[in-house]
């Protein structure tokens, strides 16, 4: 099994990390007044699934990408594809991550989080699977576990103490559907009838797990005084050009924390991340920070690891890139050996 370096331990998680969750959790059933008991399709989606789920397409049209489809929808003010993606990910979190984290039976995700206590996680995913596992094991809390201070609201009757400190961080580099930014506030001076909307000196980050609040016992939704923040403002949508969005307050602070951790660690293990060229501005910041570190070592865990390693090594020559050609589940079955 991979041994953590003495000066820091980091994983970079991509969509391929989630893909085994449906198999590990087993079938999930629902009930309908029309068809009775039926097996639900609630797995974490990959690209082929997103085309069908969000755009009702069997495949991505020739000459286009999923990113192009999202961009065209958002440009026309059609937020339904992103809403469908959010609903599916939260459904997977609620149905699969909760089941897997609470199961008494071993599964590759429980084995993974138990095998690497104290490690930190960088993720380009929007879902909350790592947080659900880590909260259950009391290694992560939303007020400090995102790497930046996040305001939380205790649920009725729950107590959140100052002694609760995260020992593992989960840094969402493209944002999380469970965290939103509030940059404005409504103010009214004594005796005035008119309230004013004013820009805050510093943004507030609030924890709002929305429909999956039950996945986070002791917490409820922290609500904004200026109204609900829509999902397209919580994450960087999967569009072709993300560069300008990387400077959003929550994203910018998260990246600063992530790059600092990468420089200290010197070793990064990418699991199920495709290093999509559309995301080169996103992962480039992380790999550049790794190039500035002492060890400059990148492990790539993916069925396409060998090809990815060749491409990354050519683009970032200071790095030692080591491929592990396995799915996440296959890597777990091999005791996470590198």
B/e letters for 241-258, b = 16+ CB within 10 Å, e = fewer, are: ebeebbebbbbebbbebb
CA angle, 115 then 290 then 304, to 5°: 65
pLDDT tens, residue by residue, 162-205: 678 999 999 999 999 999 998 766 556 666 666 655 666 788 99
Beta bridge partners of 122: 12, 171
Beta bridge partners of 182: 204
Closest by CA to 268, choosing from 65, 14, 92, is 14
Predicted local confidence at residue 336, as pLDDT? 93
Helix axes 129-136, 108-115, angle to 10 degrees: 60
Residues composing the chain: 338
Closest by CA to 205, choosing from 149, 141, 128, 144, is 149
**Can you tell me the distance from the alpha carbon of 155 to that of 183, in angstroms, rounded to the nearest whole number?**
24
Predicted local confidence at residue 159, as pLDDT? 74
Asked whether the beta carbons of 329 and 108 are under 8 A apart, the reply is: yes
Predicted local confidence at residue 194, as pLDDT? 65
Tell me which H or E stretch contains 258: helix 249-265
pTM: 0.92
CA angle, 130 then 135 then 141, to 5°: 100
Positions of the chain with pLDDT lower than 50, given as ranges: 4-7
Predicted local confidence at residue 44, as pLDDT? 96
Asked whether the beta carbons of 5 and 297 are under 8 A apart, the reply is: no
């Amino acid at each position: 099994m991979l041994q953590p370096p003495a000066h820091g331990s980091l994983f970079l998680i991509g969509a391929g990390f989630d893909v085994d969750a449906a198999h590990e959790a087993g079938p999930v059933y629902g009930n309908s007044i029309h068809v009775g008991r039926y097996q639900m399709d609630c797995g974490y989606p990959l690209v082929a699934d997103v085309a069908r789920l969000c755009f009702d397409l069997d495949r991505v049209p020739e000459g286009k990408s999923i990113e192009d489809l999202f961009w065209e929808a958002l440009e026309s003010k059609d937020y339904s594809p992103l809403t469908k993606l959010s609903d599916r990910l939260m459904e997977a979190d609620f149905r699969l991550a909760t089941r897997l984290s609470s199961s008494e039976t071993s599964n590759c995700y429980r084995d993974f989080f138990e095998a690497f206590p104290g490690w930190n996680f960088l993720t380009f995913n929007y879902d909350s699977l790592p947080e659900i596992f880590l909260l259950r094991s009391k290694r992560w809390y939303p007020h400090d576990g995102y790497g930046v201070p996040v305001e939380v609201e205790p649920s009725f009757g729950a107590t959140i103490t100052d002694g609760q400190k995260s020992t593992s961080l989960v840094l969402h580099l493209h944002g999380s559907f469970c965290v939103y930014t509030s940059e404005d506030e409504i103010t009214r001076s004594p005796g005035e009838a008119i309230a004013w909307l004013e820009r805050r000196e510093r943004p507030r980050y609030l924890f709002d797990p929305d429909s999956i609040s039950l996945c986070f016992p002791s917490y409820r939704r922290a609500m904004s005084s200026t109204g609900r923040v829509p999902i397209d403002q919580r994450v960087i949508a999967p569009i072709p050009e993300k560069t300008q969005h990387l400077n959003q307050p929550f994203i910018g602070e998260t990246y600063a924390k992530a790059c600092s951790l990468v420089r200290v660690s010197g070793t990064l293990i990418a699991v199920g991340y495709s290093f999509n060229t559309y995301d080169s501005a996103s992962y480039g910041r992380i790999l550049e920070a790794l190039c500035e570190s002492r060890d400059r070592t990148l492990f790539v865990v993916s069925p396409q690891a060998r090809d990815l390693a060749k491409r990354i090594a050519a683009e970032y020559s200071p790095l030692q890139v080591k491929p592990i050609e396995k799915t996440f589940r296959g890597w777990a079955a091999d005791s996470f050996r590198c």
